[in-house]
Amino acid sequence: MAIMDPLIRGVDRILIHTQDVERVFARFRHEFGLPIAWPLADCGLLVSGGLYAGNMTIEIGRFTGPQLPGTWLYGLGFAPWEPTWKTVEGLSSRKVLYASPLTLHYESPLMMQSTLTFLRNLLDGQPNVALWLGQPGGRNTRVSRALSTLRTWMAGTEVGSKTFSMLLGSSLVFMCDNQSHLHQERIAALRAAWRKTRQNGPYGITGVAGIDIEVSTNLAVWRRLLDRPDLNSDSTHSFGMGPLLRFHPGAGNRLLGIEFACADLPSITQQLREQRSLVPTDEKRVILSPDRMDGLTIGFNQAPTATLDKV
């Protein structure tokens, strides 16, 4: 059997859904000291903003229309090695199901263009379609006008909002092919500034160390996507750059939490203990109380001497 080139360069972003998007965005911005990748903006049925975390982006968003309660890790986006057309060939050869790629254009507040390929059967509650995410390419085409009308109906009517709730699902996994030079330049500038300081914010964050995923029935699809036939429910997967994927056995298939690496874990532990904001763990990692973070599971561990971002 021929060895295939890997599909995924690393984690591009994680998407946090919350109704109180302004407050949660401000908290990650100021308490965690994460610089802005793009400011909060209305992108159709999704209001979102992005924060740079040293080796990936944290996107915080709110879907308009349905008033979905709570705050949770909704989406996981991967950066592909190849352009979209070649990526979908690789997905097909691995028998990983996906929806037709969708190219989105944003002109404000930061010009961006991304082609998203939504993957299936990796997490529970994934929608079959995701055309609600933003403005599709082809500004004045028949398809574009139809989708614009559909988004207006879903956001502005009770029946539309209920329909949107059913389409939304509770999780997403997608390939994100960023094609905007301005966006790439912005991320490159943030990366260079981060490398210069080596840590950010009051917690001394050096990057995202890992993303925790609960797996139950979908492990076989993860094996094919990651080219890891040896992957099991307590494996760790490294892309060679950026955060690790850390798998955990459980009753479902869902995103569990994220863990930041910090420059001085003992001092951060003491600081959070004094604030009574810790969940008891061990000397190698600490976890913020979920009550403090709107139910999100966010941890810290000690960063290695070398920077996490190898790009």
Question: Residue 262: in which H helix or E strand, if any?
Answer: strand 254-262
Whether residues 38 and 146 share a domain: the answer is yes
- pLDDT of res. 136: 42
CATH number of residue 276's parent domain: 3.10.180.10
Whether residues 74 and 118 share a domain: the answer is yes
Whether residues 222 and 258 share a domain: the answer is yes
The 3-class SS string of 94-150 reads CCCCECCCEEEEECCCCCEEEEEEEECCCCCCCCCCCHHHCCECCCCCHHHHHHHHH
φ and ψ at 159, to 5 degrees?
-65, -40
- pLDDT of res. 152: 56
Whether residues 15 and 135 share a domain: the answer is yes
- pLDDT of res. 44: 64
- C-alpha gyration radius of the chain: 19
**Encoded amino acid at 80, one letter:** P
- pLDDT of res. 153: 53
Domain count across the chain: 2
Q: What is the pLDDT along the chain (311 residues), one digit of tens a residue?
A: 457 789 999 999 999 999 899 999 999 999 999 999 999 987 666 788 999 999 999 999 987 665 667 899 999 999 999 999 999 999 999 999 998 888 776 665 666 778 889 999 999 988 755 544 444 444 455 655 555 565 555 555 555 555 555 566 788 999 999 877 777 888 899 999 998 887 888 999 999 999 999 999 999 999 999 999 999 999 999 998 899 999 999 999 999 999 999 999 999 999 888 888 888 777 789 999 888 888 999 999 999 864 444 44
- pLDDT of res. 211: 98
Q: Which residues contact 257 (CB under 8 A, 6 or more apart)?
A: 73, 211, 212, 287, 296, 297, 298, 299
**How many Cβ atoms from other residues are within 10 Å of residue 50's Cβ?**
26
- Strand partners for 13: 57, 77
Residues 152, 50, 128, 150, Cα dihedral to 10°? 10
φ and ψ at 304, to 5 degrees?
-65, 170
What is the model's pTM?
Answer: 0.87
- pLDDT of res. 132: 44
Whether residues 14 and 118 share a domain: the answer is yes
Domain that holds residue 214: 198-302
φ and ψ at 14, to 5 degrees?
-125, 140
